[in-house]
Amino acid sequence: MKIHAKRSVIWVMAALWLATTRAQLVEPYGPVPSKAQMKWQEMEFYLFMHFGPNTFSDLEWGHGTEDPKIFHPTELDCRQWARIARDAGAKGIIITAKHHDGFCLWPSKYSDHTVRESDWKEGKGDVIRELADACASYGIRFGVYISPWDRNHPKYGTKEYNRVYVNTMRELLRNYGDLFELWWDGANGEGPNGKKQVYDFHRFETVARRLAPNTVIFSDIGPDIRWVGNEKGIAGSTNWDLLDTAGFTRGAGSPPTDTLNRGNVNGHRWLPAECDVSIRPGWFYHPQEDTAVKSGKDLMKLYFLSVGRGANLLLNVPPDRRGLIAAPDSASLMAFKQMRDEYFRENLAHRANVTVSATRPGFLPSLLTDGFRFSYWAAPEGQNTCTIEIDMGMEKVFNTVLLQEYIELGQRVRSFSVEVWDGSEYKEVAHGTTIGYKRLLQFPLQHSSKIRIAITDSKSNPVIGDIQLYNCPEIVLNE
Ligand code: FUL
């Protein structure tokens, strides 16, 4: 055990050394991610929680006129939420601190439609505090959704509301520890005075950046994370982390959804996609949907369609009227976790022998199968195609490949194929376009000792972090 631990430390140190000393040797290509965007990308999967008056009224979009006393969870336990999230392998929780009905899950000074006006804990409760503390004690990260659309606030639809929104944001960003993500919904409907708000997003962004420079901000067009263009949890099979946002606005003026889904191959900004999807048909809890919860296998499929296409997965699991995650939802989450553990239990290509079509001094091909993304291999400058042959030394059985670019130096690969040695030649079993942070592809079960990745087109010399091979119990996605 001790020797094993020592070895891992040596491997990590060697990989870090390689990453830092060689980073200068390969020039970045095009836009690259910020540190905060990379930290976010590495989270891969985290939970969304829609909770508030709608949980009790059975609505999806509350009118804002609901009596705050309708909010009365009987057994609210944010530690249960955080524990289930952690056990499911989710790296954080984002909660609807305020949804379109304007109800604040914390006692905001800038609203009289909050938990303070409810009877829950005699008006002395604060869901945001409880959840922030629970996430901290379970070692996961915490973020907030604050709807700019507010169907309750009397100032909505006037200039002053922008100040209210900024103050609201300030309360959340200042008082609840470090938030990993701030979620801006593009919805812009009418408020209590029948008017729509002209949002001052420029000001919102300036304030958020000043208060929380390490918090990534999500919206249709960022500034840090983009919407994936649907609420089904599916990223494009071509998925660029790049987007052109000039001339577009949030909400109705955003880029077409298929552009958001795929990104722009030569986009000017680094804006990776986040796939938001609910485990149930609705975003909020409705008892009649207890029988319509996505299964572990459904979630696994979504994992391949989101994380497996270089995006992050934001899975909504809405707490019920008790203020707990309901049994069917937690059962699916645990099944999903168990499946991920089983699917990716053994990397059959780990430390396998690698031969590349063109070597480059200082970049050992063996770095491609060392299990670390940040110890990367780069093709020589000017070579935008290459082949990578992996020889496992003996016949293995497999059906899934995992590829990673070292995107800190830009996203480059435009097309590639996966080929398997059949004893006399290499035969293509799968092909894809983009790779990005992570790409998963499945294909019919193969028996072979050798596999070849052919990068057939790239914007610049390919820089690949890792290649892994698995024998998954099932093919959930064959495309
Ligand atoms: C949408 C909202 O209108 C839905 O209610 C939900 O919050 C979803 C995540 O975003 O724009």
Percent of the chain with pLDDT over 70: 95
Q: What's the N-to-C CA distance of the chain in angstroms?
A: 41
- Ligand 1 centroid, distance to 200 Cα (angstroms): 20
Out of 58, 185, 190, 231, mutate this one to test ligand 1's pocket (max ligand atoms within 8 Å of CB): namely: 185
94 CA to middle of ligand 1, Å?
Answer: 13
Q: Please choose from 231, 284, 313, 314 the residue to mutate so as to test ligand 1's pocket, defined by most ligand atoms within 8 A of CB.
A: 231
Interval between CA 134 and ligand 1 midpoint (Å)? 24
Which ligand 1 atom is at minimum distance from the Cα of 276?
9
Ligand 1 mean position to 132 CA, how many Å?
Answer: 22
Mean pLDDT of 312-332: 98
What is the spatial distance between Cα 224 and Cα 243, in angstroms, rounded to a whole number? 11
Dig out the tokens for 343 from the structure: 């699917």
Residue tagged 């914007």 (tokens): 459
User: Measured in angstroms, how far is the CA atom of residue 274 from the centroid of ligand 1?
Assistant: 14
Checking if the pLDDT of 77 tops 90, the result is yes
Nearest Cα residue to atom 10 of ligand 1: 185
What does the angle CA 341 – CA 345 – CA 346 come to, to the nearest 5 degrees? 165
Q: Whose CA is nearest to atom 4 of ligand 1?
A: 283
Is residue 15 predicted with pLDDT exceeding 80? no
Three-state DSSP state, 297: helix
Tell me the H-state helices in 189-256. 201-211
- pLDDT higher than 70, residue 64: yes
pLDDT, one tens digit per residue, over 161-211 is: 999 999 999 999 999 999 999 999 989 999 999 999 999 999 999 999 999
For the CA of 145, the closest atom of ligand 1 is 7
pLDDT of residue 479: 66
User: What confidence score (pLDDT) does residue 231 get?
Assistant: 98
The predicted-structure confidence for 460-473, as pLDDT tens digits, reads as follows: 999 999 999 999 99
Q: Which of ligand 1's atoms lies nearest the C-alpha of 187?
A: 11
pLDDT at 17 over 80: no
* Paired residues of 227 in beta bridges: 274
Whether the predicted pLDDT of 1 surpasses 50: no
Q: What are the chain's domains?
A: 2-29+346-470 (2.60.120.260), 35-343 (3.20.20.80)
Ligand 1 pocket test, pick from 220, 227, 283 with the greatest ligand atom count within 8 Å of Cβ, gives 283
Question: Could you tell me which residues are beta bridge partners of residue 182?
Answer: 144, 217
Residues for the chain: how many in total? 479
Q: What confidence score (pLDDT) does residue 18 get?
A: 60
Among 78, 165, 75, 161, residue whose Cα is nearest residue 120: 75
pTM, entire model: 0.95
With tokens 């099944």, the residue in question is 335
- For the CA of 99, the closest atom of ligand 1 is 7
Whether 103 contacts 153, CB under 8 Å: no
> Closest residue (by CA) to atom 3 of ligand 1?
187
Distance 187 CA to ligand 1 centre (A): 8
Residue whose CA is at the smallest distance from ligand 1 atom 1: 185
Task: Supply the mean pLDDT for the chain.
Answer: 95
Cα-to-centroid distance, 101 and ligand 1 (Å): 12
Say whether pLDDT at 24 is over 70.
no
Residues in the ligand 1 pocket, defined by CB under 6 Å: 60, 185, 187, 276, 283
How far away, in angstroms, is 172 Cα from ligand 1 center? Answer: 20
Nearest atom in ligand 1 to 48's CA? 9
The region of weakest confidence among 5-19, 44-58, 111-125, 270-284 is 5-19
In sequence order, the 6+-apart residues with CB closer than 8 A to the CB of 85 are: 46, 47, 92, 93, 135, 138, 140, 317
The secondary element (H helix, E strand) that includes residue 130 is: helix 127-138
Q: Point out the ligand 1 atom lying closest to the alpha carbon of residue 96.
A: 7
| Residue 289 · residue 281 · CB < 8 Å | yes
Q: How many CB atoms lie under 10 A from the CB of residue 260?
A: 23
Estimate to the nearest angstrom the gap between the alpha carbon of 351 and the chain centroid.
29
pLDDT-derived band at 10 (thresholds 50, 70, 90) equals: confident
The pLDDT, as a whole number, for residue 237 is 98
Which atom of ligand 1 is closest in space to residue 50's alpha carbon?
7
pLDDT tens digits, one per residue of 238-260: 999 999 999 999 989 999 999 99
Other beta carbons within 10 angstroms of residue 210's beta carbon come to 10
Residue with tokens 């990308």: 41
